[in-house]
Amino acid sequence: MATYVESTRRWVASVRYTDPVTGADKRKYLYGATEAEADARAAEFRATPPSEMPTGDRPSDVRMLLGRWLSEKDPELDRSAVAWTFTEQPVQRDQWLDYESVIRTHVLDDLGAIKLEALTHARLRRYFVDLAKKRSRRGGTLSVSTQRKVHSRLTSAFRYAVVRGWLPADPMAGIPTPSESVEAVGRVADLSPVERALTVPEMRRFERWIATRYADHLAYQVRWRLAFSVGLRQAELLGLTWDAIDLAARTITVRQQLRKTEHRHGCAGDWPDPDTSPCTVSARVLNPRAKAVTAYWCPQRIDAETRIVATTKSKRVRYVRVGEREAGMLAELYAQQHPVDAPPVAQRETQRLARSRAMRVYPIADADLVIRHPRGGHVTPAVDNAVWHAACEGAGVSSIGRDVHAARHTAATHLVAAGVPLTTVQAMLGHSTIAVTQRYVTTTRDTQDAALAQLDAHLASIEG
């Protein structure tokens, strides 16, 4: 019989069973909003065949499998405190949040309850057919890019299950990657990195618009000049601090970035069920079919925080030299932000700031930022994106298919076009492999004519 737990405001029923792999005695707790619901879940669990009972290692259904896969991908998981072994490499926190969001939003409701033994190739094919018809929040059907994300995540998770020996074969094998239908209209064709780059006239018009619009705010002029010249990423530029710049050596140490944490539930506390929250249980009392309440809508929400994180996308520190013009602009900006007649900072505060900035993650309020908002404080990515689009519109530069990252594509494209060795461009921009840098190598009519001329000269020298 289920019992009511006052601290969680839920009914719970417990069932004892034997682990089919280890033979150990275990206890399973089944929760419900009502006594009848908890007892029904307990009865369903008792009817499960012994071979399908959950074990300490092998997940029983797709939901548990995806949870295990996500756990191995989680960069914040303390691996020393977990008994099971690992085959997956962790990813960056933003990427992991994208994985989790895609799985929670588009997979768990349809596939989560399926037992691994019952998962078939035909069932997954039918799932992707239904996914293509699913309505998006903005109206219309789900975008192909989102369908591809789902396909990619499930492919990785099921291959992981095959490696672990939990599945005899990959059920995703042979399921085609979702593609754009011929009937789809209104889609914008993807541009290559070189096509996203601004031409030299466009870049100069963009810089002139910024210099005119923000004539009294040099920080924005520096922000875009560094993006166009050395290709720093948006998060790297917005999180750039003065202790990472050596003005005498004209060198920037790229070792950190601006990151924003996600909202958190303030109602959870020691809540035992990771798949729900007290506010979700309260909502389901009125509507048993209500979806889980996200942290953003939690009445006791803990707001997200913006911080400086000592990491880069490639997880490697790099040292980037800047030109004389950029160094002069940085020196002028430093003088503006650190006037000689400013009141001295108390020694205790100086020591506190030094300790805070030495940490791997520290609050944005303690950062001595280079790029600041005209009204003071840090520049959020949303504000930075708005400045980009306003400048493109004001300068007559097309922003179709171009976002803030196009400034980085611009730097890479013109560096390669100037004949800079690819290895140097790779080091400056922090590309993980030389293959990423090779995307900016283009073949034009002039380069082909030059190649033919070299070939003719070579053949003539052999014949002569």
Tell me: the pLDDT tens digits for 83-109?
556 677 888 888 888 898 899 989 988
Q: How confident is the model at residue 182, as a pLDDT?
A: 47
Q: How confident is the model at residue 212, as a pLDDT?
A: 95
Q: Which residue from 302, 228, 211 is spatially nearest to 264, judged by alpha carbons?
A: 302
Residue type, 274: P
Say if residue 16's pLDDT is above 60: yes
Is-contact 429 411, C-beta < 8 A? yes
Q: How confident is the model at residue 82, as a pLDDT?
A: 58
Say if residue 455's pLDDT is above 60: yes
Say if residue 24's pLDDT is above 70: no
Say if residue 257's pLDDT is above 50: yes
Is-contact 306 235, C-beta < 8 A? no
Q: How confident is the model at residue 219, as a pLDDT?
A: 96
Q: 143: phi > 0 → left, psi -120 to 50 → alpha, else beta; which? A: beta
Q: How confident is the model at residue 57, as a pLDDT?
A: 63
CA–CA distances in Å: residue 123 to residues 11, 116, 127, 130, 148: 34, 12, 6, 11, 18
d(CA 425, CA 419): 10
What is the overall mean pLDDT for the chain? 86
Sheet with strand 318-321: strands edge to edge: 245-246, 251-254, 318-321
| pLDDT classification of 439: cutoffs 50, 70, 90 | confident
Say if residue 55's pLDDT is above 70: no
Model confidence pLDDT, tens digit, residues 322-342: 999 999 999 999 999 999 988
Least confident segment among 195-204, 291-300, 302-311: 291-300
d(CA 377, CA 374): 8
Say if residue 172's pLDDT is above 60: yes
Say if residue 183's pLDDT is above 60: no
Q: How confident is the model at residue 174, as a pLDDT?
A: 83
Residue type, 220: Y
Model confidence pLDDT, tens digit, residues 407-436: 999 999 999 988 899 999 999 999 988 988
* Token pair for 32: 């419900």
**What are the φ/ψ torsions at residue 171 (nearest 5 degrees)?**
-70, -15
Q: Which residue from 64, 38, 40, 113 is spatially nearest to 281, judged by alpha carbons?
A: 38
Is-contact 224 256, C-beta < 8 A? no
Model confidence pLDDT, tens digit, residues 207-247: 999 999 999 999 999 999 999 999 999 999 999 999 999 99
Mean pLDDT of 189-215: 90
| pLDDT classification of 463: cutoffs 50, 70, 90 | confident
Residue type, 156: S
Q: How confident is the model at residue 239, as a pLDDT?
A: 95
Say if residue 30's pLDDT is above 50: yes
Residue type, 388: W
Say if residue 358's pLDDT is above 80: yes
Say if residue 382's pLDDT is above 60: yes
CA–CA distances in Å: residue 19 to residues 16, 26, 53: 10, 7, 7
Share of the chain above pLDDT 70, in %: 89
Share of the chain above pLDDT 90, in %: 40
| pLDDT classification of 309: cutoffs 50, 70, 90 | very high
